[in-house]
């Protein structure tokens, strides 16, 4: 693949020094290669976005909304190809790849509606002082850099791209080097729709490309989703320009199960929270807090459920869980299995890499994990669940909140008043009650503490790409 970058409305060859190898994680083998973008090409992409900004932001909200609806329709028309590519490059089971695509489609359709409502938000502001009038005007922040991860590439890019375009921003999108292919669909759709050149630019690459984009003085905002270590580097780069950032980072989330909960339902919610996308989720509920009265019944059932999961190649088998997406992630998860053995943790299920081709690990459950264990405190990003027992509601809240992360949590209880009370007490950005992790475009996404800055999705996602201008006029 030579023309792998979309700059100023044209597909161009990469001129960087890095060769990106695109792998099938179920086989552990590459199936495509591309040359990374050079620093000069990042400059070109930012310049193209800057040149396109005046006409795009003044194009009119209704016209921008029409383009967004076009993205939604075009994604639907490419449905089978995009599902197959996610299965091959990410290792996602078909049902997960289907949900990801539907999420991306819904995101573009939703922000098309919000774009149409933007003119109504420019309004007069009543003043107490006589002789003056004031009005607000919402304007795009400008040229934005979007850096997205490999675990939900089609989805995360939609969460950033759709509100940015709706607001009137122009963008430079940098996909992960692990999964660089699927975002090319956005460039293809831009061509098909006749999106003005420079409104959307896509540059692929590794750390050099990401650093060139995050430190570029031609950006007005940066939005990053990924690890805390890289997020801190992105924040340092943005601070040099006093540039606003949105950061969606890691998590070590808790699922709290009270003893009045139905065991079968609890097992369903727990398994989904740790094995969806092979546990490669910042929102994975990897810390299980289970009340004493239900623990002895729940843990054996949970062990059986994890052992029954079908793990395999989603392209050739009907599976519940696919491989880890990269060899690096496979090695990282395997290192935590070794740490668990060194710490003497009680392993009820899994705890090992699978002896087959590809980057597979077993769904894993450790019981009675100490709070100072690395597996309890660190984000593993794999299907590794650590369980602890608790006695009281206050203890559950305290242990759930005892984390440097604060992204999400789940509460399971038949006592809805208690569930709501606990949800309010948890120091996170999103809580589910008696549910799998259903994410809706109308709700917000983002966390507290070390899980990031800002919010995506809902009207909050659009606000992140808008600046507020006040115009005050003397009537004298």
User: How far is the C-alpha of 288 from the C-alpha of 308, rounded, in Å?
Assistant: 19
Phi, psi of 86 (to 5 degrees): -65, -40
User: How far is the C-alpha of 234 from the C-alpha of 209, rounded, in Å?
Assistant: 12
Q: Tell me if 366 sits within 8 A of 345, measured CB to CB.
A: yes
Helix 79-89, helix 61-77: angle, nearest 10: 70
User: How far is the C-alpha of 132 from the C-alpha of 474, rounded, in Å?
Assistant: 5
Q: Which sequence positions are flagged as catalytic?
A: 248, 282
User: How far is the C-alpha of 58 from the C-alpha of 61, rounded, in Å?
Assistant: 8
Helix 39-57, helix 207-214: angle, nearest 10: 40
User: How far is the C-alpha of 107 from the C-alpha of 285, rounded, in Å?
Assistant: 24
User: How far is the C-alpha of 375 from the C-alpha of 106, rounded, in Å?
Assistant: 35
Distance set, CA 426 to CA 24, 71, 388, 423, 433 (Å) = 39, 37, 17, 5, 12
Length of the chain, in residues: 476
242: left (phi over 0), alpha (psi -120 to 50) or beta: left
């Amino acid at each position: 693949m030579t023309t792998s970058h979309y700059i100023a409305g044209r597909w161009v060859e990469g001129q960087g020094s890095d060769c990106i190898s695109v792998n099938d994680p179920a086989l552990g083998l590459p199936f495509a290669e591309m040359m990374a973008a050079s620093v000069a090409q990042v400059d070109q992409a930012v310049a193209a976005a800057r040149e396109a900004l005046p006409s795009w932001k003044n194009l009119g909200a209704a016209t921008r909304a029409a383009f967004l609806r076009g993205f939604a329709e075009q994604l639907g028309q490419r449905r089978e190809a995009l599902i197959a590519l996610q299965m091959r490059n990410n290792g996602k089971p078909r049902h997960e790849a289907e949900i990801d695509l539907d999420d991306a489609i819904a995101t573009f359709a939703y922000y098309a509606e919000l774009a149409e409502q933007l003119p109504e938000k420019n309004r007069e502001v009543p003043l107490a002082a006589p002789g003056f009038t004031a009005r607000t005007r919402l304007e795009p922040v400008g040229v934005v850099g979007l850096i997205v991860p490999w675990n939900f590439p089609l989805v995360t890019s939609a969460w950033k791209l759709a509100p940015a375009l709706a607001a009137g921003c122009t963008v430079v999108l940098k996909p992960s080097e692990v999964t660089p292919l699927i975002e090319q669909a956005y460039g293809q759709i831009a061509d098909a729709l006749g999106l003005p050149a420079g409104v959307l630019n896509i540059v692929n690459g590794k750390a050099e490309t990401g650093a060139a984009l995050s430190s570029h003085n031609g950006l007005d905002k940066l939005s990053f989703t990924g690890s805390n270590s890289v997020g801190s580097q992105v924040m340092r780069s943005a601070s040099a320009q006093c540039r606003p950032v949105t950061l969606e980072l890691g998590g070590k989330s808790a699922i709290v199960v009270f003893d009045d909960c139905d065991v079968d339902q609890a097992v369903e919610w727990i398994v989904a929270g740790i094995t969806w996308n092979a546990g490669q989720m910042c929102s994975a509920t990897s810390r299980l807090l289970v009340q004493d009265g239900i623990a002895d019944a729940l843990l054996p059932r949970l062990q059986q459920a994890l052992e029954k999961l079908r793990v395999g190649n989603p392209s050739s088998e009907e599976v519940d869980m696919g491989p880890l997406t990269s060899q690096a992630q496979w090695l990282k998860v395997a290192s935590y299995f070794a740490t668990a053995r060194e710490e003497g943790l009680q392993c009820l299920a899994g705890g090992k890499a699978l002896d087959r081709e590809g980057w597979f690990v077993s769904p894993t459950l450790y019981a009675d994990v100490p709070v100072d264990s690395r597996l309890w405190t660190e984000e593993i990003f794999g299907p590794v669940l650590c369980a602890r027992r608790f006695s009281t509601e206050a203890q559950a809240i305290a242990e759930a909140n005892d984390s440097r992360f604060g992204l999400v949590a789940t509460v399971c209880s038949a006592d809805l008043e208690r569930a709501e009370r606990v949800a309010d007490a948890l120091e996170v950005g999103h809580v589910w009650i008696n549910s799998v992790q259903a994410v809706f475009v109308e709700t917000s996404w983002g966390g507290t503490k070390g899980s990031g800055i800002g919010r995506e999705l809902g009207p909050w996602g659009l606000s992140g790409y808008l600046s507020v201008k006040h115009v005050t006029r003397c009537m004298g």
